[in-house]
Amino acid sequence: MKIGIFDSGLGGLTVVQAMIKSVKGAEIFYIADTKNAPYGEKTPEQILQYSLDITQYLIDLHQIDALIVACNTATSAAIQHLRICYPSLIVIGTEPGIKPAIELTTTGKVGVLATPATLKGDKYQQLTDSLSSQKDVVLFEQACPGLVEQIEKGEIHSHSTKMMLEMWLAPMRENSVDTIVLGCTHYPLVGEVIEKVMQRDLNLIHTGEAIAKRLLTLGQEKGHVNHGDLKITLYSTDAINKKIVSYILEEHTEVKQIAIQK
């Protein structure tokens, strides 16, 4: 099975990290669209175009069987269009784990950290409206502008990153939030920092494992045999921090820079 994955940067590698544990006999082609990052501060129309261009690139060069949109923002803007445009392709999106968060919380207080574009998106609004009515919970939503850029620079444990998180998380800490949805694939990389700032046992919800499981189910329905080696190639449309790649993916990954034409 040939799998294409893309994100605005390296955050989607947290999805690859989860896939490494369960997916075998496959090739992964990951595109970090760093030239256009961050997606969270772009318009839906821009994000849709980036998503279509990248998908066509992956099909043309690698004949992918499956596409994973490893970005909550791009999923909200593009997933429906991608499924219509490429009906024969397995297309899996990423959305905030509101449902498991609501199921896990014991205080009834759930935090949501996400990019501004994700929180404003119709997909997120529909998701929260349908699920929050099923259980008496209070959602503490927080947009995190600039956090993706901090992570991409490798500033995971820096003082400035901790201060940003302290500002955003203080209201959640004071209101007994016990479950936080990491509504961006970058955010699991600052999970330890979030736990320290919150000063309590937390449920941190991200969706990498769920995506890997869904991919296997759909792949096996199309004849994928989950046996053999897994090869990973990482492409970027601009410069990337290779230390972050090594930090997320301990094994050797081939890294190349590319240009994607419309």
Distances (CA, A) of 33 to 71, 91, 136: 11, 18, 39
**Catalytic choice (3, 71, 164, 211):** 71
In terms of C-beta distances under 8 Å and separation of at least 24 residues, what long-range contacts does 157-166 make, across chains too? 157/193, 161/190, 161/193, 162/193, 162/196, 162/197, 165/190, 165/193, 165/194, 165/197, 166/197
DSSP string, 1-66: -EEEEEESSSTTHHHHHHHHTT--SEEEEEEE-GGG--GGGS-HHHHHHHHHHHHHHHHHHH--SE
**Catalytic choice (110, 184, 204, 212):** 184
Q: Which of 59, 125, 47 is nearest to 91 (CA)?
A: 59
- The one-letter amino acid at 221: E
144 given a catalytic annotation? no
Q: Which of 246, 257, 256, 218 is nearest to 13 (CA)?
A: 246
What is the C-alpha to C-alpha distance for residues 256 and 153, in angstroms, rounded to an integer? 18
Positions marked catalytic: 71, 184
